[in-house]
Amino acid sequence: MTRTADPGADFDALFLAQWPKVVRIAQRVLGPGAMAEDAAQEAFLAFHRRFGDQLPDRPGPWLYAAATHLALNALRAEQRRDRRERRDAATAPAPAPGDPAAELVEREARDELRAALSRLRPQSAAILAMRYAGLRYQEVAQALGLPADQVGTRLRRAELALRKELEHASSQGR
């Protein structure tokens, strides 16, 4: 990254250039909304704490990995909270009035997918989140410190593991 007289300008330019991709990665794990934006913002804060005004030449991979891990951690924390709330609740919450059945089914499917994703090995979940957020194999490889020629194989393995996890969850009635 080219250095300017104002080091903060470099970070500002990095933020503007990378924000959409970092948010998209977090949204693949958490869905659209405030949680994904919070995870993306935390990734930039962690980046700034780590590097300050001395930006590395290739900051993208670091940001992508941080966003993925922060989003997965947020997802796991949310699921732990949900389990506690279900365990503590005497009855299941009533659905909000006016919710169409199709929207409810779609939301449940997304929740199942996110729960299954959280049960995968962290690297598998990260590969899936990054790839389906639109990162190219090379970007995924850089973010996770993998050889680029291994991303496709690991992606396929991660997809199979996710499929098995979803099948297992449905057979268990989760």
Query: The tokens of 12 are what?
Result: 């500002």
Cα–Cα separations (whole angstroms), residue 58 to 5, 97, 149: 20, 49, 20
Domain-located, residue 156: yes
Contact yes or no for 82/36 (Cβ under 8 A): no
pLDDT digits (tens, 9 = 90+) for 76-107: 888 887 777 666 654 544 555 666 776 777 78
Q: Do residues 63 and 43 touch, judged by C-beta distance below 8 A?
A: yes
Mind listing the pLDDT tens digit for each residue in 119-150? 999 999 999 989 888 888 999 999 999 998 99
Closest CA to 151 of 161, 164, 141, 159: 141
Specify whether the CB–CB gap between 67 and 40 falls below 8 A: yes
* pLDDT band per the 50, 70, 90 thresholds, residue 4: very low
Mean pLDDT of the 52-74 span: 92
Which comes out higher in pLDDT, residue 86 or 20?
20
2 in any annotated domain: no
pLDDT of 1 reads: 47
**How many domains does one find in the chain?**
1
The answer to whether 29 touches 75, Cβ cutoff 8 Å, is yes
What does pLDDT average to over the chain? 85
And the tokens for 70?
Answer: 């922060």
64 lies in some domain? yes
- The candidate with the shortest Cα–Cα distance to 170, out of 111, 86, 103, is 111
Report the distance separating Cα 114 and Cα 30, nearest Å.
7
- The predicted model scores a pTM of 0.61
* Domain, as residue range, for 36: 7-90+97-172
In a domain, 79, yes or no: yes
Q: Would you say residue 29 lies in a domain? A: yes
> Would you say residue 3 has pLDDT above 70?
no
pLDDT value at 156 more than 70: yes
1 falls within a domain: no
The C-alpha atoms of residue 170 and residue 174 are separated, in whole angstroms, by: 6
Q: Whole-angstrom Cα distance, residue 45 to residue 96?
A: 36
Is 166 inside any structural domain? yes
